[in-house]
Amino acid sequence: MYQDDELVIRPIMEQDLSKLWELIYKEDKPEWKKWDAPYFPHKSIPFETFMETAPAWVGVDDRWVITVDEVVCGVVSYYYEDEQCNWLELGIVIHKAETWNKGIGTRSLKLWLNHLFESLPLVRVGLTTWSGNERMIRVGEKIGMQIEGRIRKVRFHEERHYDSIRMGILREWETLNVY
């Protein structure tokens, strides 16, 4: 668990599962999906269907909840692009729109990045987003990430092409004490 005042990131617990279903899978077109890879389809699923696999989310290292005042509002995650090389990408989704634009994403990613560098033998951590998500790009920059690549016009959304943006930060970030 990592904490910054009222904000906490921590492993998912069983009592979080119903809230996570509500935030992620209850609706076909949730507000957060407009920013989180909207070019990929998203479908609602019944609670019972979600609960068939959801217990596998409990206590895992690669997906934690974000809470504000003990209310679940999103998740941070990571996956290996190449585990053999420790090439890891992180992610974040703040599902509750009323918590957007309040610094929660920046603070959560700082805590998550700190956790990843403390607990894994990483040299670099990456983040991939799309050029239509300018807020995510700003969050990456605020936590010290740099744009390392721009793959032009590979994301198509609402009749328009967008770039894929690859950002990254090196372990040396730890020594900057920016978290």
For 45-60, how does the pLDDT look when each residue is reduced to its tens digit (9 = 90+)?
999 999 999 999 999 9
Q: What is the DSSP string of 134-151?
A: HHHHHHHHHTT-EEEEEE
Q: Is pLDDT at 135 greater than 50 in this prediction?
A: yes
User: CB-based contacts of 50: which residues, under 8 Å, 6+ apart?
Assistant: 17, 21, 25
pLDDT at 172: 81
* Tens-digit pLDDT profile for residues 57-116: 999 999 999 999 999 999 999 999 999 999 999 999 999 989 999 999 999 999 999 999
Determine if the pTM surpasses 0.85: yes
pLDDT for position 173? 61
Structure tokens at 109: 């990613």
Give residue limits of the domains in the chain: 2-176
Q: Which residue has the tokens 């068939």?
A: 52
What CATH class does 2-176 carry? alpha beta
Strands 87-94 and 2-4 turn out to be unpaired
Percent of the chain whose pLDDT exceeds 70: 96
Give me the percent of the chain exceeding a pLDDT of 90.
93
| pLDDT computed for residue 111 by the predictor | 97
Looking at the predicted structure, is the pLDDT value of residue 174 above 60?
A: no
Residue 22 has pLDDT above 80, yes or no: yes
Residue 177 has pLDDT above 70, yes or no: no
